[in-house]
Amino acid sequence: MRTISELQAIKDAFTAKRQDSKEIRVIIGMGTCGISAGATPVYEALRDGARKMGLDNVTVCPTGCIGMCTYEPIVEVKVPGKETVTYIHVDAAKAEKILRYHLRDGIPVSEYTIGGDCGSLTELDFYKKQNRVAIRNCGIVNPEDITEYIYKDGYFALAKALLNMKPSEVIDEIKKSGLRGRGGGGFPTGTKWGFAAANEADQKYFICNADEGDPGAFMDRSVLEGDPHAVLEAMAIAGYAIGASKGFIYVRAEYPVAVERLNIAIAQAKEYGLLGDNIMGTDFCFDIEIRLGAGAFVCGEETALIASIEGFRGMSRNKPPFPANKGLWGKPTIINNVETLANVAQIILKGADWFTSFGTAKSPGTKVFALGGKINNTGLVEVPMGITLREIIYEIGDGCPNGKRFKAVQTGGPSGGCITTENLDTPIDFDNLVAIGSMMGSGGMIVMDEDNCMVDIARFFLDFTVDESCGKCTPCREGTKRMHEILDKITGGEGTEEDVETLKELAQNIKLTSLCGLGQTAPNPVLSTINHFENEYIAHVKEKSCPAGVCKALINFSITDDCKGCTLCQRSCPVQAISGSLKKKHVIDQDTCLKCGICMNVCKFNAIVKE
């Protein structure tokens, strides 16, 4: 591959094939979420079935995450000249029917579609407010086929950078776009690249941070699984801009599908001369190596990540020197997160002005959020910065399930905080989220309803940080442990008012004196829940009650006089704690009761109460 026209030829050939009026494309979402929901047998049934029936014009195309996790496994059928038909919750049996009626005979199986006259996912409210830049190809291209990426203008940005731009011009364009790091910090990407470019060195490194550790955030995984070439192309562009010839992708070992697709993508890019020596016939050489993490959250921190690639315990160190000056093996190193990189090629191709046309002045562009928890439409959404939380939670996410009342949304994972109803109309960007006591983080957005106890949630996050603290500095190692003990005590019904004050004091000290971001932000979930829900803490310590009915030491289930003696609860109880005879009021033996709440869920007469 030497010229843009060669790239164009691949695109044209693919376009011609796509325009072949006979080709029926069957797309199936096969990200980790789709596979977990059972996409593999569906894919095999469709692929093998089409072959057996001799349907030569049918292409069954596995793709990455389509975004609407709630409906997985999802199958889209694109017949030329007809509207796309989307099937949801597909299994092998449904796939058989789709094969026979739709793919062979041309009659869609309407009972399995998404419903109404809405055949296409993009017509749903879930998609209407979205603007996809970073995950533009996820759920659309086959991630294991480089020509599909080229068809979507892939590698044209690399060609443009290498053939028509100086490295400094690439950096200026990224600076002008105002792109900020999507991994949490929000540091301007172009400025960061500029630091490394200004350093003279015989070797520089570029690292893609794919150690997505925030529990409940999976946008990076979706990009790696659904559009791996977007990351490789951006890394090569960045390598050219800063003068690095070697790149690493540090990816979680828990993402086997992503690792496999990255390996395939790297091999294909090398084969096409888009990675390796003398890319596009220039002097620029760039190679990428994958390194697997081994389950340490702290390795998302830059200096800890570098230590891990060097083969040591993943412990952070003091900054300065910053990695841009002294990083991997002492050489200038730039680390960018996956989602940040997924924007780069589009910015180079379409220009900084295009990028700044979305979002807010200080946070241009879009952001991907992983919507999860107590929300109807779980999934991955990409929205322009500046959108309000209310729009995301109610218009895109369709609110809390089962008519429950929204309580708070947690952003920023273990480093972030809760946002309550009063701030739902704040436009979201990096700075506003910090101003209302949370942070962007990597984009996890966990919705909580009235049944979630905020003290318990704070304890959950501290449990995480205690486990993940690398142990190097005392405030983080010892401080988070003490905070966790206090939270355990409070949720266990043994807390005092003084404990809440101690928590606040410890939190301030840990924030001010920890070595790295992990410790500095670890107290945030506690401070934020105390700030917004101090009444819940007080209820736990003073009245010894858990208003949400979560903390087991503080709740009891009992059966009221509404009991009709139907015996359903008795039969459902996993530990036989309920006794009573037919048509007589039942009773719960408090000593045996596990407080699992199954009885309350199954009771048809609302005769079981939690106090």
Q: Which is nearer to other proteins, 364 or 519 (CB)?
A: 519
The torsion angles phi and psi of 343, rounded to 5 degrees, stand at -90, -20
Could you list the residues that contact other proteins (CB under 8 A)? 32-33, 36-37, 69-70, 72, 213-218, 221, 253-255, 289, 291-297, 308-314, 329, 370, 372-374, 378-379, 410, 413, 444, 446, 448, 452, 457, 460-461, 464, 470, 572, 574, 594, 596, 598, 601
The torsion angles phi and psi of 239, rounded to 5 degrees, stand at -60, -45
Q: Which is nearer to other proteins, 37 or 473 (CB)?
A: 37
Residue whose C-alpha is closest to residue 380's, from 138, 173, 80: 138
Q: Which is nearer to other proteins, 37 or 61 (CB)?
A: 37
Residue whose C-alpha is closest to residue 129's, from 386, 440, 447: 386
Q: Which is nearer to other proteins, 172 or 254 (CB)?
A: 254
Minimum CB distance to other proteins, residue 86 (Å)? 16
Q: Which is nearer to other proteins, 25 or 404 (CB)?
A: 404
Q: Which is nearer to other proteins, 561 or 591 (CB)?
A: 591
Minimum CB distance to other proteins, residue 325 (Å)? 20
Minimum CB distance to other proteins, residue 373 (Å)? 5
Tokens of 271: 């084969």
Return the CA Rg of the chain.
27
Minimum CB distance to other proteins, residue 367 (Å)? 18
Q: Are residues 376 and 401 in contact, defined by beta-carbon separation less than 8 angstroms? A: yes
Minimum CB distance to other proteins, residue 69 (Å)? 3
Pair type for strands 406-411 and 417-420: antiparallel
Rounded to 5°, the CA angle 378-551-491 comes to: 115
Minimum CB distance to other proteins, residue 82 (Å)? 29
Q: Which is nearer to other proteins, 70 or 142 (CB)?
A: 70
Minimum CB distance to other proteins, residue 80 (Å)? 32
What does the alpha-carbon distance between residue 574 and residue 566 come to, in Å, rounded to a whole number?
17
Which 3 state secondary structure label does DSSP give 200?
A: coil
What does the alpha-carbon distance between residue 411 and residue 393 come to, in Å, rounded to a whole number?
12
Q: Which is nearer to other proteins, 352 or 588 (CB)?
A: 588
Q: Which is nearer to other proteins, 87 or 464 (CB)?
A: 464
Minimum CB distance to other proteins, residue 151 (Å)? 28
Q: Which is nearer to other proteins, 80 or 330 (CB)?
A: 330
Minimum CB distance to other proteins, residue 70 (Å)? 5
Which 3 state secondary structure label does DSSP give 418?
A: strand
Amino acid making up residue 179: L
Helices (H), 37-91: 39-52
Tokens of 332: 């200038």
Length of the chain: 611
Instruction: Work out the end-to-end distance of the chain between its first and last CA atoms, rounded to an integer number of angstroms.
Output: 70
Minimum CB distance to other proteins, residue 551 (Å)? 11
Q: Which is nearer to other proteins, 423 or 469 (CB)?
A: 469
The torsion angles phi and psi of 208, rounded to 5 degrees, stand at -95, 120
Rounded to 5°, the CA angle 2-5-8 comes to: 115
Question: What is the b/e burial string over 13-39, where b = at least 16 CB atoms within 10 angstroms of the residue's CB?
Answer: ebeeeeeeeeebbbbbbbbbbbbebeb
CA distances for 541 relative to 455, 488, 500, angstroms: 11, 12, 9
Q: Which is nearer to other proteins, 383 or 447 (CB)?
A: 447
Q: Are residues 206 and 242 in contact, defined by beta-carbon separation less than 8 angstroms? A: yes
The torsion angles phi and psi of 369, rounded to 5 degrees, stand at -120, 145
Q: Which is nearer to other proteins, 162 or 258 (CB)?
A: 258
The torsion angles phi and psi of 73, rounded to 5 degrees, stand at -75, 135
Q: Which is nearer to other proteins, 187 or 312 (CB)?
A: 312
Residue whose C-alpha is closest to residue 465's, from 533, 528, 523: 523
Minimum CB distance to other proteins, residue 308 (Å)? 7
340's CB contacts (< 8 A; 6+ apart) are: 179, 180, 181, 182, 183, 189
Minimum CB distance to other proteins, residue 23 (Å)? 31
Minimum CB distance to other proteins, residue 296 (Å)? 5
CA distances for 494 relative to 366, 452, 497, angstroms: 45, 20, 10
Minimum CB distance to other proteins, residue 213 (Å)? 7
What does the alpha-carbon distance between residue 255 and residue 247 come to, in Å, rounded to a whole number?
19
Give the start-end residues of each E strand in 318-416.
Answer: 333-337, 366-373, 379-384, 406-411
Tokens of 214: 């925030």
Minimum CB distance to other proteins, residue 345 (Å)? 25
Give Cα 398 distance to the centre of its chain.
Answer: 19
Residue whose C-alpha is closest to residue 144's, from 229, 232, 208, 68: 229
Q: Which is nearer to other proteins, 464 or 557 (CB)?
A: 464
Helices (H) and strands (E) in the chain, counts: 25, 17
